[in-house]
Structure 1
Amino acid sequence: MSGVVRDQDVDIDLGQLVRAVWARRLRILTITLVGAGIAFAGAKIISPQYRSETRILIEPRAPAFATTQQVNDAGAGPLMDELNIASQVQLLQSADLLKKVINDLKLYDLPEFDDAANGSAMSSILVKLHLKKNPMENPPEERVIDAFVERLQVYQVPGSRVIGINFTSKDPKLAAAIPNAMANVYLSTQSSAKLDSNSEATRWLEPEIESLRRKVSEAEKKVAEYRTTHGLLQTNGTTTFPAQQLNDISAELTRVRGDKANAEARAQAVRNALSSGEAFDTLPDIMSSQAIQRLKGTESGLQSQISDLQTSLLNSHPRLKSLRAQLADIRGQIRQETQKILASIENESKVADLRARELERQSDTAQANSARAGEDEVGLNALEREANAQRQLLETYLVRYREAASRADSNSSPADARIVSRAIEPVDPYFPKVLPIVVVAAVATLILSAIVTMLAELFSGRALRPLGTSRETIEADTIIEEMDVPQAAPAVATARMPAQPSMLALVADDDEKDPTEGEEAAEVAPEDGNEFSVASVADYLTGSRAPLAIAISPTGDNGSAATVLLTRMLADAGRRVILVDMTGSGCPTQLMAEDEAALGVTDLLCGAAAFGDTIHGDRLSDAHLIPQGRSDVRRAMRGVDRLSLLLDALAAAYDLVVVECGAADVAGVSRLTHSRNVEIILSLPQLEETIFVALMTEFQAAGYERVVLMSDGQADEQEFGRAA
């Protein structure tokens, strides 16, 4: 404000700055409109610039008539990496390509590109005096290329193989024609380069192919002569005759050895049956003989006759004796036939043994021949490898020659790129953008006008005010105004809540101030030894580092009166302390405020008062007070969760902030603070053990470790008397 005394501590009055800007709002608005009008006129005067873009995709391509193999080979080629794409970007900006575009479109005839064609009089004088080179001596495309490059932008689209070509011009048709022309020239150049490469490839491949054909023929002839000389005739595609012969002998030897073992096993089975007298019915070699089968039939018939006659004749009967003699003769014949079968089987075993010996001898001979053939195959394999290598190289050259020749003959070889987006004639100019320019100019003018107004207020001294005891909280005022706190409400709960069974010891000091001496606080030293007295709690809070103390008064106004006495004691001890009245009855406001209807917490939270207007001095001490306020408490409580911002702002300006909550609960206290760095004061002038234990239990369960009991039976009576 004006009239600030020299050498007096001052601070900036933000409210005055805002009021000054508001008072000059018409002037600021007029200046803003003028600035916007100037920007609009300037934007309209500037010649419009149009921009258009063509995009090219870099990818391998093959002719449409290419065979499947050729297409696969082209598609299997390595995709272009970042360096290749960057190289194509530089190629699009090469001087040769730009000159071709300039000549094709005859850009040197346009004044936009060739300023030298319409040179000024001063330039002509300098040329005649030989102080400047005549620009017309240069080729037309050389004069245009600098202006062309300034308007051209070629870039790679990030994360892709797409190249963008931007061009800016005063003519929208030209802005679209030039990028398209550059893309066409680029594709034509790339296609011509590939055709030249194909022609060069065919010229180089023709003599190489003829030479390879002679080499392949000579190599194959050497392979055939070597096979004939060393007898390495092939029985199939991979095996020679000695190796095939050895394989056949080995297979036959294995089969003969199996037959021999089988014959020996069969002969042994027959011998065992003959020696043991067992029946021959189980031997397949014996049962398969037709003679044995006939004898077995006769034997069975004789046994049947003997069995029938024994029922009617005696054993000594001639008929039975004759039948038994015939049966014995048949059995003898069966044994003789069995001996013949055994001899036949033994002969098979002997023949198999002789065959196996012969095959073993042939196998040894074949192995020796195969070993010699293996040594000869070493040289043969070397000749075949050489012939195969020459043949594969010849086939590769032939394929490449056919591809190159077909492309060269057809005069068609697409470039490894294609246009994915052609430039179109733009409708709106790229520059200037009238609306954004006007908006930016208007905003900039508005901000500059407001800053100039604020600086004028500061230099005149009207926005400065002296620092005093009633303005200790200007730092908090600034924080609250910037945070838009007036949407919160006090977390006040009128219901009595339980406490905790434990309490923390206090650093007690029996010194206590006499509350009956008005504004002069005379110290008294109570000798009652009460470590929970108001004076002891004040002494404890003086040594505490916590910036916030929450006072709970479960029994009502007598506890609030004790909190008021505690606040005054802290102020008399030289601490900057403020009490926030968040009780339902407004007892602290009645005891401390000069005017009980002063603006307070509810007015601040409802937006009815500024932060600085809610801070008042205590009528009996140096403490400060934020009263209850005059606004509707229900409306203020809608933003209860933001009230902690108010307490943080006050803690930045005061040594200690005491919040008298009345009969609040733990949930309400938790919503006042973000952290647990807070002192909880249980104000119980008349100690009630049940209430105290319940409160201590609740706060300890909620995580508040520092819970202090303040119990002084005479505190409330003294405070009410002091207020009177």
Structure 2
Amino acid sequence: MSPEQPAISSVHPFTASPGHRVQANPSDVFLDDEHHSEFGLVDYWRIVRRQKWGILGVVFACLIIGVLIALKSTPIYQAEVTILAEPVQPKITASNQYVSNALVWLFYETQYEIIKSRAVAARVVDKLGLEAHEEARRARLRAEAEAGDSGGLFGISLNWRDWLPKEWTEQKEKGPSAEQRREMLITRLVNDLTVKGGEKSEIINIKYQSPDPELAAEVVNAVADSYVAFGLNSRLSSARKTTSWLNDQITELKRKLEESEAALEAYQKTTGMVDTESRQQLVSAKLASLTAEQIKAQTARSEAEIRYNQVRKIEKEGGGFDSLISVLNSPLVLNLNAKYSEMKRRVSELSERYGEKHPKMIAARADLKQADKALQSAIKKVVGSIRKEYEVARDKERKINAMIARQKREIGDIRGKGFALAKLEREVENNRQLYETFLARFKEEDVAGDYDISNVRIIDRAIVPMAPVKPNKMRIALISVVLGLILGIAFAVIRERLDNTFKTLENLENRLGLPVLGLTPLLKKLKKGELAERHVSTAPRSPFAEAINHIRTGILFSNIDRPPKVILVTSASASEGKTTLASNLALAFSNLGRTLIIEADLRKPRFGGIFPKEHKHGLTNLVSGQEDLKSCVRQDAANKNLFIIGAGTLPPNPLEFLSSDSFKKVIEALRERYDHIVIDAPPVLPVSDAIIVSRLVDGVLLAVRTEFTTHQMAVDAYRRLKAAHIQPLGSVLTMADAARMAHYGNHYYHYDSGYYGYGEG
């Protein structure tokens, strides 16, 4: 590797790595950059930096327009009068505190409406004779219009009415009657008044704006005087209305009180409910007593039921009742059982001494039978008493339950009637309180004296303003600057978003899906007589030369086993720097061995200006057999390893010429003579020459000019190559301005002496 070649590690991330080629399908390689990166705040900031002069121009234009508008606008003066509006507070008592607070709050809201009322405005119009003043103003405007003073911007009126036909405006001026003009004056006066205050203090400020400072002061003072006069005149009427309103309310409240009292009395007579509380207590006490008896009855019934169930079980099983506890515990049964046992023992004793027919035995057995009969009779009585006891306990429990249910129903009925009675009593009480409140307030004092009379006086009368309040030139200038910034940035963003040219390596790779072998910096300043097409030779240590060496390395490493020998350089359209790239690339390859550069652009050849001593014979003469190789090939004077074949005599049909077998044989023959061959071909889109020649080479480079070639142009060129089954080695971004590229994407590109690389920024 030659010393001037860049290290492999300096290859840009978007450059094809050694031995790697992207094989892309044309249907899925043409991607939009927006699919690869989001458009964030950093991108907007870069747009602002790139378009800063355009944005500043828009800001300056808006500022100039704003200043002109401010200078041309009619000055507006504002006069202000201060009024103390203090309502006379009523005596604070428990009966009127709420009413007082409500009326005081409403007082100021009412004053604002009075000040801006048409009645007050009409007083001002009549007092100051504003109708005559308005007629004078209209006459002055007509005179100025006839004199040609439009008051517009650059001699153009800003009033849309001035654009109407003269007969229309004259008809409109004559249209309204005197009464209509008066009403229009009143409406305008009301709309131009501003009333504020009374929120945290008792001060009310009245402001009025007008182009005439003296008129502004006169109008606002007249408004204050008319407001005070209006209040004095309306005070008595307001007091009478308030008294009448209170009287109506008292009458209505009295009627409601009488109706509620009558309803309460009728309900008490109908239900007999007077004192529901004592009656409910009595019923509740009885219910508590019944509840205690219910518990005892339930216990007795439960015990009797147990004994009764035992009897039923014995009857069902067919056994004897002598094992029942109730039977065993019965004194009668115990006594009879003892007699029975005694008789049985006696019969047993007598049977040992006497026979069965002995009178004593017969008598003893008769006594035993009688004792057994008495015992069984006693047991039956005990069993019968168990049944009877169970039935009695059950009936008693049922009666108590029924009595409890009746008591509960009675309590519910008492409560329901009590609720209704309480509701009627509350209604009577509420109506009585309202009635007494309004009646007491009506009798205490004169409502008009307490609430309607207000202490209103003028504190500061308006003086003639010395300086206008409008237009606010500083505010207009600030708004103009802000508006200019918004419009400028919006214009810049729209312009950038509509710009579909290539600006970064990432942009190029994402769009085409091809390896990007590098970029060539824009040569802004060349010395006198220096050619961009030979910059690698004249400035071998320049950043441009390093960039070309970088591209050369990418080409050689695209296939390490069989590096491309014949390279074709083309572009989508003209003026994309393909010839500059091809000639400098040939100069770079000449540092590695014998290199031939062929001018295959037979439509617009340029080698004559790049290689001045070029033979008059060239490629066409060689392919047609008119001249031999020696006559058509020239060795470069500055670089002995570089050989040139110019276009030669231009043929009438370049496409057929390049498609000939003779051209193919010439290329094959030249392969054997030179180490590297670079072919400068025509653009892909205008003609098909480059596609024909591309089939004879080892690799194709597609030159794409920065901020010139559109996405669609490059995509169409790549599609044409792919359609011809030609896979380019990669693309090269040409004529890249490092300063401008720093404003695109997330990286910066720098060129230092002896180094061409890429860094994070």
TM range (shorter): 0.3 to 0.5
- TM-score, normalisation: structure 2: 0.33
- TM-score, normalisation: structure 1: 0.34
Greater relative contact order (Cα 8 A, min sep 6): structure 1 or 2?
2
